[in-house]
Amino acid sequence: MYDYVIIGAGSAGCVLANRLTEDPTIRVLLLEAGGPDKQKEFHIPAAFSTLFKSQHDWAYDTEEQSHLNHRKLYWPRGKVLGGSSSINIMIYIRGNRRDYDHWHDLGNEGWSFSEVLPYFRKAENQERGASEYHGVGGPLNVADLRYINPLSRVFVEAGVEIGLSRNVDFNGPEQEGVGFYQVTQKRGQRHSAAGAYLRPVLNRTNLTVLSHAHVTRLIVEKTRSVGVAYVRDGQPQQATVNREVILCGGAINSPQLLMLSGIGPADHLHTLGIPVVMDLPGVGQDLQDHLAIGVVYDCTQPISLASAGTVGDILSYLLFKKGPLTSNIAEAGAFIKTQSDLLAPDLQLGFVPVYFVDHGFTRLKGHGFSLGVALLRPQSSGHITLRSGDPFEPPAIQPNYLGREADGQALIEGLKICRRLVQAKSFDPFRGAERYPGPQVQSEDALSEYIRSLSQTVYHPVGTCKMGHDAMAVVDARLRVRGVTGLRVADASIMPALVGGNTNAPTIMIAEKAADLIRADA
Ligand SMILES: Cc1cc2nc3c(=O)[nH]c(=O)nc-3n(C[C@H](O)[C@H](O)[C@H](O)COP(=O)(O)OP(=O)(O)OC[C@H]3O[C@@H](n4cnc5c(N)ncnc54)[C@H](O)[C@@H]3O)c2cc1C
């Protein structure tokens, strides 16, 4: 019998396991479907893409996207201690302060920017030191990159040349502008949620962590959640709980588990023969993600990251944790507005000083560089549904990318900005031929077709158990599942609207706040 069972040891689950077991009288069980993060590729920043489609990746595919030439898009998700924070690109971004004020304005008390900032600061160990916006002494290390490729410096100068403001801190007073990303790294290594929050407390006797434990359903008596069923080593097991089950399975698996347990849209559950425990039509709905497209150029000088991995680089990494292997690949970026009267940037750029096509699966020989643009606040949204009542069958993921025309138009504008940036003088000594989309792709129609045929996710699905008060809300502002006692969701799925930036730091903030809410309600 545990006080709390946490499902999923990802970005959110690791935070909650740590914070709830600070009280030695509280007993917590953390269940994770994946295994430990021992392999060296988890820790070497530049190696992240080697984990794609490995045993540590749920490696989902979306449904065919009718607005993307019927392609199915690959969605990596970490299946390992640390979850997606163990395979992500380590960019530390909180989003725009207006994102949280918007959450608050939707009726979610306690979630305005000024109310969530203390949780971002609490989580953080900012290597630059404390300030109004940054914390020190928190579990999650936030660092400047130890290595920056010369092409990334060229990118930042080119951005300034075309009129973007230089921004030395995207998480400071102003998000807009161009600059280098900070990363969740410690001493040149990835600092995942597992490294930051879980490993340091594994010796707590009140915390039990079980990896390779795949939760198959929640056990609910009438409308009270009393435990979970899971499979480990092929054996069905159960755990019972005194206080609460906390679902931290992420934006795909949290709604999947709710629906497998009879909590979700009644019509959908009926069609699959799953007995309805609570009719919550919003479970799995309101799926939003950042879709991205990019330009790729040859580089006329042999200075890209393609030459990383020499004996010297390996030694530099092994001995000093320095050099190109500490690069997170997407070293620099920008937040820009397509229209000057927008209140917050609607596009995010990411510069990669090497060829980067199709998540790194398409290999191009030689030296190049890539510049991606992601649409921060898409109007399109989709959903996650079950294919069957089998907990081991992946759910159907329908993001409905570019379902609204405005989204495609914004990406076309983004492509034009990327091209203009690469045409800046700073790139003159380095710019070779345009590989993607290629000089022949100029008209709006041609750019649109290029987006349909090559755009990809930048890995930020949210919203499928959204917080709120409307009929589609799944959890309330204290993250309690509506109509079911003893059950909360605390992960990226609760976001009532996608934030304008990367989603790891926001998810960690959500979990930090959830820990306080849970303790206050105990
Ligand atoms: C390739 C990639 C790159 C990214 N890059 C960045 C970046 O640079 N910066 C950034 O801020 N964000 C980035 N993100 C996004 C960010 O990492 C995620 O938004 C964040 O980690 C989500 O946290 P979560 O806790 O909601 O889910 P996750 O971290 O995915 O955790 C969910 C956990 O639950 C486990 N689980 C699921 N189902 C079950 C089950 N049935 N039983 C037991 N356990 C289960 C999973 O295995 C996983 O460990 C990236 C993501 C990916 C995939």
**DSSP assignment letter at 155:** H
- Which ligand 1 atom is the nearest neighbour of the CA of 461? 19
φ and ψ at 100, to 5 degrees?
A: -80, -35
Ligand 1 center to 218 CA (angstroms): 20
pTM score, whole prediction: 0.98
Buried b (16+ CB within 10 A) or exposed e, 79-116: bbbbbbbbbbbbbbbbbbbbbbbbbbebebeebbbebb
Ligand 1 center to 275 CA (angstroms): 29
- Between CA 155 and CA 353 the distance in angstroms is 9
Count Cα atoms within 13 angstroms, Cβ side, for 56: 25
Answer yes or no: is the C-beta of 9 below 6 A from any ligand 1 atom.
Answer: yes
Specify the residue with its C-alpha closest to ligand 1, atom 3: 88
Print pLDDT tens along the chain (522 aa): 899 999 999 999 999 999 999 999 999 999 999 999 999 999 999 999 999 999 999 999 999 999 999 999 999 999 999 999 999 999 999 999 999 999 999 999 999 999 999 999 999 999 999 999 999 999 999 999 999 999 999 999 999 999 999 999 999 999 999 999 999 999 999 999 999 999 999 999 999 999 999 999 999 999 999 999 999 999 999 999 999 999 999 999 999 999 999 999 999 999 999 999 999 999 999 999 999 999 999 999 999 999 999 999 999 999 999 999 999 999 999 999 999 999 999 999 999 999 999 999 999 999 999 999 999 999 999 999 999 999 999 999 999 999 999 999 999 999 999 999 999 999 999 999 999 999 999 999 999 999 999 999 999 999 999 999 999 999 999 999 999 999 999 999 999 999 999 999 999 999 999 999 999 999
347: which 2 tokens?
């596009």
Answer yes or no: is the C-beta of 125 below 6 A from any ligand 1 atom.
Answer: no
* Ligand 1 pocket, mutate which of 459, 467, 510 (most atoms under 8 A from CB): 459
- Between CA 506 and CA 278 the distance in angstroms is 28
* Ligand 1 pocket, mutate which of 30, 37, 504 (most atoms under 8 A from CB): 504
229: which 2 tokens?
């069923």
Answer yes or no: is the C-beta of 504 below 6 A from any ligand 1 atom.
Answer: yes
Strands 235-247 and 487-489: parallel
Residues forming the active site: 460
With a CB cutoff of 8 Å and minimum separation 6, the contacts of 428 are none
Specify the residue with its C-alpha closest to ligand 1, atom 48: 83
CA distances from 99 to 111, 172, 197, 503 (A): 10, 15, 26, 12
- Between CA 390 and CA 52 the distance in angstroms is 25
**Model pLDDT, residue 458:** 97
